[in-house]
Amino acid sequence: MDAVGAGAIRDVVAVLPNAPRLGHVVDAVAARIGKPVRVVDVDGPGWGALTALVSQLPDVALVLLPPGSTPLYRMHCVLHELGHLVRGDTGAPVPRTQLAFAAWSAGGNVCHRSLDDTPVPSAGPVDGALHGDDEEFAETFAYELATVLLSGTVGVDERTYG
């Protein structure tokens, strides 16, 4: 990860309260991107290999998740998608029908996280693969922020040195 990415992670950590929760990270990312971020459970058509999606509208960014994930896995998926937002990935337009959702989750401009390493077709910034700079950043963001959340505190040294 480059210095810009590491700086972005440090910037998000720096604004978290001493005993942060996932909602604090969502709020910090919302402030960074300049619009609200909502985490939404989406029940409906099968998600296939996708485990989470991010979509941006002009006035809100959405992190979409299938319901029923364990709390720890859900946290990771949300943090991963927040990493896409911090990186500036655009995500996909929100589908308006079940048919549109099925087509959307099968391809299109989708920032996503998969349960396995099977490439999911995408016209988005990942260029059809689950690996690359954007996925590496999203995974690093998720790991670093999960470490802070699970430790329960943000110490002065973490704020200073990341």
Asked if the structure places residue 58 within a domain, the reply is: yes
The pLDDT of residue 67 is: 82
Tens digit of pLDDT for each residue in 84-109? 999 988 765 555 555 555 555 544 33
Q: Is 160 among the domain residues?
A: no
Torsion-angle region of 149 (φ positive above 0: left; ψ -120 to 50: alpha; else: beta): alpha
Domain count, the chain: 1
- The domain of 31 spans 3-151
Q: Is the Cβ–Cβ distance between 113 and 142 less than 8 Å?
A: no
Q: What is the mean pLDDT of residues 53-69?
A: 85
pTM confidence score: 0.72
Q: Within a domain: residue 136? A: yes
Asked whether 53 and 110 are in contact (CB, 8 A), the reply is: yes
Q: Is residue 156 part of a domain?
A: no
Q: Is residue 162 part of a domain?
A: no
Q: Is the pLDDT of residue 63 over 80?
A: yes
